[in-house]
Amino acid sequence: MTVLLVDLGNTALKWSVLGSEEEPKTVVHRAQSHFKKDLYAAWLALNPTRVVGCTVAAPALAFSATKFFNDHRIPWEWVRPQKVFESDEVVLENRYANPMQLGADRWHAALGAVHAAPGESLLVVHTGTATTVDSIEMTAPGRYAFAGGRIAPGITLMQKGLFEGIPTLPDAMGEATDLPKSTADAVVTGLIDAQVGLIVRAKHVFERTAGRPVRVIMAGGAAAYLAPHLRQEVPDLLVHHNLVLRGLAARAAQKEEKENHR
């Protein structure tokens, strides 16, 4: 059996088959569709038995993919968040006020994180179009709770808003420094500090409320850029990509397990 995993985000689509989620294929789409013919041919060649996907953006692309699956009679599921995920290894409780309102990408990134870094309370940072910072508390061995989280513009969106709001700023991007002495350097440093400050603040608050140390785990398109700066404040930072796909893999494996026990 071949289970296709699909993570459709705001600017990129990642996919893999179950068991290979650490080595996904990536298509940067930016809401365009020129890549669909080659992508669908690659999917069809896999002869998938079913699809487990997560989509929070690009509805036209999600509709197109769904039509493709239907046309080829491939069972599909665009998964949603859950009140609780439970397997033999992990239990993750959703403590959002309205559990179904939580973004499916944030839920599955959290699920992927507890599989990637078990045995710790985690601050799960995903750096994409938006930066999300979610608190995952370990309540007992193998048991976790999505305790809450934060959403802010990602660094690219923050930069775009700054330049659009203040047209007189120079277009050239500078370098991050401790004491910026040019406007270009000041902009870059301010953008990075805003992201790092958000994460560090969330970590301090979570550690205070949880009463225990918290490990920061980061993923997403801007992770490689932000990680060196964040490590100055959080030396034990863990960068682990493809958390959403890892969470989708856990969901797919959970369903396989249930069907095998019928």
Asked whether the beta carbons of 89 and 142 are under 8 A apart, the reply is yes
Asked whether the beta carbons of 38 and 66 are under 8 A apart, the reply is no
pTM of the model: 0.93
Q: Residue 41 has what pLDDT?
A: 95
Q: Residue 12 has what pLDDT?
A: 85
Q: Residue 59 has what pLDDT?
A: 85
Radius of gyration of the chain (CA): 20
Residues with a known catalytic role:
105
Q: Residue 193 has what pLDDT?
A: 98
Asked whether the beta carbons of 116 and 242 are under 8 A apart, the reply is no
Q: What is the pLDDT along the chain (262 residues), one digit of tens a residue?
A: 899 999 998 788 999 999 999 889 998 876 666 788 899 999 999 999 999 999 987 788 899 999 999 999 999 999 999 999 999 899 999 999 999 999 999 999 999 999 999 999 999 999 988 999 999 999 999 999 999 999 999 999 999 999 999 988 887 789 999 999 999 999 999 999 999 999 999 999 999 999 999 999 999 989 999 999 999 999 999 999 999 999 999 999 987 766 665 5
Strand order in the sheet with 130-140: 84-86, 91-94, 143-153, 130-140, 122-127, 215-219, 238-239
Bridge partner list, 102: none
